[in-house]
Amino acid sequence: MILLISDLHLEEERPDITRAFLDFLTGRARSAQALYILGDFFEAWIGDDAMTPYQRSICEALRTLSETGTQIFLMHGNRDFLLGQAFCKAAGCTLIKDPCVVDFYGEPVLLMHGDSLCTRDEAYMRLRRILRNPVTLWVLRHLPLSTRHKLARKLRSESRAQTRMKANDIVDVTAEEVPRIMAQFGVRTLIHGHTHRPAIHKLQIGEQAARRIVLGDWDHQGWVLQVDEQGMQLMPFDFAPA
Ligand code: MN
């Protein structure tokens, strides 16, 4: 059995989500052969060299799961794209590219965070190209900590202000972009997060039936996609009472 989650937006200020995730790691995730985390795992990440005690405790919880035999795969989101190899090594995770094709029980499946599908948001797409450029990444990782903190705060408040202003359809995926990228990678299943609109969309790509599965964000409830020989099941679950 394989489990996929995304958009937990873990931060110290949300002990409810943190608790739910730690329970998930010692519960359901133990029986999975693999766990995929498709981005925005952390609400913010300014570098592996700046881990807070809180982030370190999450890192150790992941490592404990990996040591029990569950393989953990981690993809960057738009908030935690500075997560690096040092974190992954310490957490026992493997960093995977966005997009990437995996084999789930004989079926090729395309995994993405999802932000790159929101192509109508041109301002964001421009910013994304700049931020994800290897040169920018190198510079960001080598800025003094205080500068990185300032930058992260600025990006977050700008992103909040803009999301409020943007039309509803701009922050969702571009409908035409979905069949295009699925055809490019030769898949009939796409799984992504980012939009916080959990759903299973049935599609038609040429003559073939296809599907786009959107993982949900963890806020007042959690979301997990379970994949096994029987198929794929997208399930919400309640957080245990504090
Ligand atoms: Mn996102």
Compute the mean pLDDT over every residue in the chain, rounded to the nearest whole number: 94
Split into its structural domains, the chain has a count of: 1
| CB distance 75 to 100 below 8 Å | yes
Ligand-binding annotation for 159, yes or no, is: yes
| Two structure tokens written together for 142 | 């080598």
pLDDT mean over 75-89: 96
Position 168 pLDDT exceeds 90: no
Q: Where is 237: in which H helix or E strand?
A: strand 231-238
- % of the chain exceeding 70 in pLDDT: 98
Q: Is the pLDDT of residue 242 over 80?
A: no
Please give, one letter per residue, the 3-state secondary structure of 198-213: CEEEEEEECCEEEEEE
Cα 3 from Cα 24, distance rounded (Å): 11
Residue range(s) defining the domain that contains residue 62: 2-238
Q: How many whole angstroms from 215 Cα to the centroid of ligand 1?
A: 11
User: In the predicted model, what is the mean pLDDT of residues 228-232?
Assistant: 96
Read off the CATH number of the domain in which 64 is found: 3.60.21.10
Tell whether 150 is in a known binding site: no
Give distance in angstroms: CA of 198 to centre of ligand 1. 13
* Residue 103 annotated as binding site: no
At residue 161, the pLDDT reads: 77
**Reported confidence tier of residue 159, pLDDT bands at 50, 70, 90:** confident
Q: What per-residue confidence (pLDDT) applies to 71?
A: 98
Report whether 166 belongs to an annotated binding site. yes
Residue 160: the pLDDT is 77
Q: How far is CA 143 from the centre of its chain?
A: 25
According to the 3-state scheme, what is the secondary structure of 5-21? ECCCCECCCCHHHHHHH
**pLDDT digits over 178-219, tens only?**
999 999 999 999 999 999 999 999 999 888 999 999 999 999
What's the CA-to-centroid distance between 57 and ligand 1, angstroms? 23
